[in-house]
Amino acid sequence: MEKFTTHTGVGVPLRRSNVDTDQIIPAVYLKRITRTGFEDALFAAWRGDADFILNKDEYKNGSVLVAGPDFGTGSSREHAVWALKDYGFKVVIASRFADIFRGNSGKQGLLAAVVSQENIELLWKLLDAEPGKEITVSLEDRTVTCGELTVPFEIDDYVRWRLMEGLDDIGLTLQHEEDITAFEATRAGWRPTTLPAKHLPSVEIEAARPVA
Amino acid sequence: MGTTLAEKLWDNHLVRKGQDGAPDLIYIDLHMCHEVTSPQAFEGLRLAGRQVRRPDLTIATEDHNTPTLDIDLPIADETSRKQVNKLRENAAEFGIRIHSLGDADQGIVHVVGPQLGLTMPGMTVVCGDSHTSTHGAFGSLAFGIGTSEVEHVLATQTLPLKPFKTMAINVNGTLPKGSTAKDIILAIIAKIGTGGGQGYVLEYRGDAIRALSMEARMTICNMSIEAGARAGIIAPDDTTFEYVKGRPHAPEGEDWDQAVDFWRTLVTDDDAVFDAEVDLDANDLEPFITWGTNPGQGLPLSASVPNPEDFADEAEREAAANALEYMGLTPGTPFREIPVDTVFLGSCTNGRIEDLRAAAAILEGRTKAEGVRLLVVPGSARVRLQAEAEGLDKIFKDFGAEWRNAGCSMCLGMNPDQLRPQERSASTSNRNFEGRQGKGGRTHLVSPLVAAATAVRGTLSSPDDLVDAPAALV
Ligand code: SF4
């Protein structure tokens, strides 16, 4: 994972609350089995609308999304984060994020910055007044700067540290493998295992057919 | 001071306490996989040269983009077929148990786990699917995770996590006839909002919850995520133990006694303090439906389409206006006059045997409203077999419903079962987001009873609206 310290890029005001992950990336795109190449899927339903913000030239190269509250609610699909990243977004700013979305972002190096709704409104105004205006996000100082305006953002200390160090989670956990093995030794014998597989007798399942 | 159930489960699975702001390391007892959120995780393992640490705590099934017709033929949609094949390959390569299409134990992950007796009290259960909260009904800490976490669990059987906050949802009183667990949870979400549970584990408590069957408890925990919560949980009791007992993976003999002794300790202490509490009176509940495009936009069926102007909060007003436009609804229209095109009975929320029984009891001897399509999709192949053994399939077919094979089906627009643009559905699933059931589709979330009555009348209805309402409603 790349280290994240500061980022400067075009701010995109997305004046919508409750942007759920179905909106960020519709389910049909989840069928892919690769980890990259989801840029075309981002906000797919809205991209067909010529008035949608990302269809405007000024915002095409946007990399800092400024969204309404409760961003990323709904399904846990991490594809939402991949799609944002593949499109070129490095930062999403909102006053509230869904927990799973925020967790997924941190793991993928997408910064989810929590800014008060009051300050979001200010950012929206600035971005609307001057489409294509850049925003600088400093993870080091925990600030968002747009022109003259600098506002603070909140982020979990640990996530911040990991983003700044560019550290991968699995590697960190495997440093404690001995603890995991020791814990496993204490688990009660009655706890279920999936193997060897037990089930009721297998039965032939009849395929349903389309009704005429 | 005592501890809450969620905190007990946490302590019970603590591998390592996080230091200096680092998260705790929590052990995972059961990890379920499906075709959609796992391929990139397995790809990650392969890229890093890692193995699955505990294949014996992992299980996979195919559900999201599998068809519910012609399951013996190759999957027609190429990308779906690829994804399902990839899951099969990954399971073979990493030694993971898989239940594929056509297998009697195939079905929606959240139906399969409990049915095999793999979900029991006192566990940590994860899956790359937000409705993993379903398994909390057994008194387990169960939550959805993203694909990188799936990879993390595959590689380490643990997850680095920060403790959740706890919220008590006290539901007291007696649920009136015709109201169900679905109405309880829709009412809770309408009350606390889609963000109200954020960061919390919701513990559902009170005598109305205690009175519910396991199936009904699963319906409630299932939709905890729709209130934004990390998980939902219900303390295990005799109802739980009875449900688990005798299932394929349930402990036996002495192991069973030991397990039950432990499970009985899984309650919130009397002097424990929750971070938040919410009360709901079950006596007041009526059948609930959603009118908008998020599960918090719900009202009793007896009400009318709200007027956005009546919302005090500006964001809510705008959200309501957008939702009504998408849904094609006019303020003031009584819900009962809204005609639907499709009724979907199924999903991990309401696709279990009890749900099918409840709907069949209403449909029996009645005829379907003209022009309405009723899709009945069992949550798992076993649910289908059970229903057939009870003759429910015949009731559905006589009524004019389509009786399908198991899967997520119309719960999400990923397989052939989809709404057409502007088609309106009454659906027993859990999400009414724009396009969730197919591009442009309009979804009203309802209970199985409302779904059945709606299929009879053709407009959103409750069993009470049927002229010859059956005496004994579930
Ligand atoms: S039935 Fe719906 S909510 Fe449940 S797992 Fe399938 S897609 Fe998800």
DSSP state letters, B239-255: HHHHHHTTSTTS--HHH
Query: A211: which 2 tokens?
Result: 């009704």
Residue B34 in contact with ligand 1 by CB distance below 6 A? no
What is the distance between the alpha carbons of residues A40 and A26, in angstroms, rounded to a whole number? 11
Q: Calculate the alpha carbon distances from B189 to A70, B88, B144, B239, B462 in Å.
A: 15, 37, 18, 25, 20
- The count of residues in chain A is 212
Query: CA of B86: which chain A residue's CA is closest?
Result: A33
Q: Do B128 and A76 touch (CB under 8 A)?
A: yes
The answer to whether residue B362 scores a pLDDT higher than 70 is yes
Place of tokens 């407009």: B459
What is the distance between the alpha carbons of residues A136 and A93, in angstroms, rounded to a whole number? 12
What is the distance between the alpha carbons of residues A189 and B258, in angstroms, rounded to a whole number? 10
- DSSP H helices, A39-156, are 44-47, 79-87, 99-108, 117-129
Closest to B147 measured CA to CA, from B48, B35, B267: B35
Ligand 1 atom nearest residue B411's Cα: 2
Q: Do A193 and B25 touch (CB under 8 A)?
A: no
The DSSP result for A3-41, as a single string, is --SEEEEEEEEE--S--BHHHHS-GGGGG--SSS--GGG
What's the gap in Å between B324 CA and the centre of ligand 1?
25
Residue B127 in contact with ligand 1 by CB distance below 6 A? no
Of B68, B130, B405, the CB nearest to A75: B130
How many angstroms away from the CA of B472 is the closest CA of chain A? 31
| A198 shares contact with chain B (CB less than 8 Å) | yes
Which of A 92-151 lie inside 8 A of B, CB atoms? 96, 98-100, 103-104, 107-108
Mean pLDDT across chain B, nearest whole number? 96
Q: What is the mean pLDDT of residues B180-184?
A: 98
Query: What is this structure's pTM?
Result: 0.88
- The count of residues in chain B is 474
Per-residue pLDDT of chain A (212 residues; tens, 9 = 90+): 788 999 999 999 999 999 999 999 998 898 788 878 899 999 999 999 999 999 999 999 999 999 999 999 988 888 999 999 999 999 999 999 999 899 889 988 899 999 999 999 999 999 999 999 999 999 999 999 999 999 999 999 989 998 998 888 898 899 899 999 999 999 999 999 999 999 999 999 999 999 86
Distance of CA B27 to the CA centre of its chain: 24
Q: Which of A75, A85, A102, A204 to mutate to test the interface with B (most CBs of B within 10 A)?
A: A75
